[in-house]
């Protein structure tokens, strides 16, 4: 099993990356995480798995 975390600073870009991964057979693992780093820069993350 492979495990990967997709990250981006823009929700739309992350959504695009998730859609590409799903089309290649990856599956979502949990939900999207939203966090900040540095001076309140927001970033989004989604874990995915491939069996």
| Residue 8 CB-density burial (10 A; 0-12 exposed, 13-18 middle, 19+ buried) | middle
pLDDT average, residue stretch 5-28: 97
Helices (H), 1-51: 11-23
Top-confidence residue, 40 or 24: 24
Name the band, by pLDDT with cuts 50, 70 and 90, for residue 23. very high
Provide the pLDDT for residue 41.
87
pTM of the model: 0.85
pLDDT confidence tier of residue 37, bands split at 50, 70 and 90: confident
CB 41 within 8 A of CB 9: yes
pLDDT at 32: 95
Q: Residue ranges per domain, the chain?
A: 2-50
């Amino acid at each position: 099993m492979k495990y990967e975390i997709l990250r981006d600073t823009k929700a739309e870009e992350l959504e695009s990356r998730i859609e590409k991964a799903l089309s290649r057979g990856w599956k979502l693992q949990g939900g999207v995480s939203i966090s900040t780093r540095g001076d309140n820069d927001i970033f989004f993350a989604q874990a995915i798995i491939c069996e």
